[in-house]
Amino acid sequence: MKNIDVPIFAIDFEGSRKIGVVEYAAVEITGGQIARMNTSICAPKTKIPERDVEFFGIDNAEAFAHKPFSASVHEFCAMRRSGTFAAHNAAVEDSLLRDALPSPAIVPNFAFGGMCAAWSPWIDTCAIVKRIFPSIKSAKLSDAIEAFSLNGELDALADRFCPPRRSKWHCAPYDALACALLLMGICRTDGFENVTLHWLAKQSSPSSGASANLF
């Protein structure tokens, strides 16, 4: 990632439009390395259904002991002013962010130049895997991590960065780390060491008609 000189924040949310964000994580990639993580559980808009309690591993008592995501959205505005967001299937994270705040105000468009009033353009690791590595049978995050042989590195990072009990799939800190590591793994793959932010963003857009060619 030597040609990328701004931070990339790998974002993951647990929740839905109905109940809101019940956990978030943002992993900062700077200079091709994971620099830090910002994560928290959040009070939902409404009571979390029992099946979602089991899925997220967060019960209502724990969730409602925290502030709602709206209390933290200014942190995402600050991140977006300084860098670009990434996610695995970014439409989900973009939708939940826009539900909390339609835009981060006027921010730089680091990928394509100029300024914009949007959380986008996103780097979407799911879209990149599907487009650039079609031989991988599944673009599901856990399957992509396995395909790139990143499981051991992911678990080592989770030991460093994830809060207790949140080092597993469908926990925002773990999934955000996985997205960040997958992006780094893609950029370490032979022939992709010189990728630019512009190229990554272009490959992330399903409607761009982008070619897999680097140049």
What's the CA gap between 41 and 86, in Å, rounded? 20
**What digits encode the pLDDT tens for the residues 139-195?**
999 999 999 999 999 999 999 999 999 999 999 999 999 999 999 999 999 999 999
Tell me the pTM. 0.94
What's the CA gap between 180 and 38, in Å, rounded? 13
pLDDT over 80 (residue 109): yes
Residues 6+ apart with CB under 8 A from 51: none
Delimit the domains of the chain by residue range.
Answer: 8-204
The CA-atom distances, in angstroms, between 31 and each of 3, 28, 34, 99, 191 are 9, 10, 8, 31, 18
What does the pLDDT average to over 110-133? Answer: 97
pLDDT over 90 (residue 214): no
State residue 205's pLDDT score.
87
Phi, psi of 81 (to 5 degrees): -65, -25
State residue 158's pLDDT score.
98
Q: For residues 14 and 171, is the Cβ–Cβ distance under 8 A?
A: yes
State residue 207's pLDDT score.
61
Distance of CA 11 to the CA centre of its chain: 3
pLDDT over 70 (residue 1): yes
Burial 119-155 (b: 16+ CB within 10 A, else e): bbbbbbbbbbbbbbeeeeeebbbeebbebbebeeebe
Instruction: Give the domain 8-204 fold.
Output: Nucleotidyltransferase; domain 5 (3.30.420)
Would you mind telling me the total number of residues written for the chain in this entry?
Answer: 215
State residue 202's pLDDT score.
97
